Copies of this chain bind each other. A is one copy, B any other.
Amino acid sequence: MKDEFEFIDKITPKIKRQANLIVGIGDDAAIYSPTVLKNQVVCVDTMVEGIHFRKNTLTSYQIGRKALAINISDLAAMGATPKFFLVSIAISDKWNEQELEQIYAGMNDLADKYDMDLIGGDTVSSNESLVISVTAIGEVYSDTQLLRSHAQHGDVVFLTGEVGHSAAGLHVLNEKGINGPFTKDEQVWVLAHQEPEPQIKAGQILANLGERFALNDISDGLASEANELAEASQVSILLDESQIPLDSLKIAVDKTQALKWALFGGEDFQLIGSCSEQVFKKVQPLFQNENIHVTRIGTVQDGPVGVELTSDSKREKLEKRGYNHFFK
């Protein structure tokens, strides 16, 4: 493959999943008609080779899949329905045609699951690392706003799924390489790192309730994201260490290490949120019906803006430090 045009032709979708897409790839820009009574939700996230992944932590297919999953997770945290995405990719000559096609195959499989159309992009050369940047577009009903700033005194703080698995998976990949061999526990963690599942269904259930929710996805670690909620809402959050769902991690590794991964690891793509006690009682059976695991991990309390972590023996301030990609 020597030509940008040939490659674009190869990755241009042959089918249209969204009926309101008017012009997809092939013109200066894409055109779509927004759904009546819905607002548009847009986000962008970038993965850089050597920073966010290496060839020995993710396969090409997984790089593509994860680049889209990160963005779908942001849409989930807004309660949005995914619709479209655009992909900008800067490629060095260390990557061959088959690998590039696999990157797009990984994106396409996840896009298929969520009925998303690839509607635009840019393919350019890079001197060294592969850089992949995905823009995702979704829609929410115009009265829906699941914002970080919505936490209020007295709220239940809840978490979907388990946290720390992605960081544990990365640790194992760094130790053993991409081909393992892995124990059964390790396989779970490695898959959580390589092929995270965004919590779209959970976000939509909360959006459909039409109640006040604060919501955030766990991309930078539980500690960091809980602090984001606290700061945006100007509240104090108290997390109960014993309630943080470490499950398989707690048994397989040292508890301190498990807690460190859960609090500071990041890339779990679960949702942390808060709502009133009364609303939380409505959420639990709805999540149970869909097999979505949800845990009450804390409360919004009196006190200065920030996050505290409490256990049997101590109560301490939980700092924001976590997955900070920048300048490290």
Give A residues with C-beta under 8 Å from B: 1-5, 7, 22-23, 26-34, 39-52, 73-75, 77-78, 80, 84, 86-88, 90-91, 93, 119-129, 131, 133, 135-138, 140, 142, 145, 147-149, 215-217, 232, 320, 324-328
User: Looking at A29, A47, A124, which has the most chain B CB atoms within 10 Å of its CB?
Assistant: A29
User: Looking at A131, A137, A326, which has the most chain B CB atoms within 10 Å of its CB?
Assistant: A326
B88 touches A46 (CB 8 A): yes
Contact partners of A217 in chain B: CB under 8 A: 28
Bound-state Cα–Cα, A124 to B134, Å: 13
Bound-state Cα–Cα, A5 to B323, Å: 11
B327 touches A126 (CB 8 A): no
Q: Would A126 and B125 be within 8 Å (CB), given that A30-B42, A31-B39, A42-B30 are in contact?
A: no
Q: Would A77 and B42 be within 8 Å (CB), given that A51-B124, A147-B23 are in contact?
A: no
Q: Would A44 and B1 be within 8 Å (CB), given that A50-B127, A129-B126 are in contact?
A: no
For the complex formed, measure the closest distance between the CB of A69 and the CB atoms of chain B, giving whole angstroms.
14
Bound-state Cα–Cα, A22 to B121, Å: 26
User: Looking at A75, A88, A123, which has the most chain B CB atoms within 10 Å of its CB?
Assistant: A88
For the complex formed, measure the closest distance between the CB of A309 and the CB atoms of chain B, giving whole angstroms.
20
Contact partners of A27 in chain B: CB under 8 A: 77-78, 147-149, 232
A232 touches B46 (CB 8 A): no
B40 touches A32 (CB 8 A): yes
User: Looking at A46, A217, A324, which has the most chain B CB atoms within 10 Å of its CB?
Assistant: A46
For the complex formed, measure the closest distance between the CB of A303 and the CB atoms of chain B, giving whole angstroms.
22
Bound-state Cα–Cα, A269 to B320, Å: 44
- Contact of A127 (CB < 8 Å), options: B3, B47, B74, B128: B128
Bound-state Cα–Cα, A11 to B3, Å: 36
Bound-state Cα–Cα, A308 to B88, Å: 32
B123 touches A326 (CB 8 A): yes
A326 touches B28 (CB 8 A): no
**Closest B residue to A144 using CB positions:** B31
Bound-state Cα–Cα, A135 to B26, Å: 16
For the complex formed, measure the closest distance between the CB of A27 and the CB atoms of chain B, giving whole angstroms.
5
- Contact of A124 (CB < 8 Å), options: B43, B52, B84, B142: B52
**Closest B residue to A217 using CB positions:** B28
Contact partners of A45 in chain B: CB under 8 A: 88, 122
- Contact of A28 (CB < 8 Å), options: B32, B78, B121, B122: B78
**Closest B residue to A71 using CB positions:** B29
Bound-state Cα–Cα, A212 to B133, Å: 34
Contact partners of A131 in chain B: CB under 8 A: 90, 126, 131, 133
Q: Would A145 and B22 be within 8 Å (CB), given that A31-B140, A326-B4 are in contact?
A: yes
Contact partners of A41 in chain B: CB under 8 A: 29-31
B42 touches A90 (CB 8 A): no
A-B contact pairs, 5 of them (CB 8 A): A31-B140, A44-B135, A48-B124, A93-B327, A131-B131
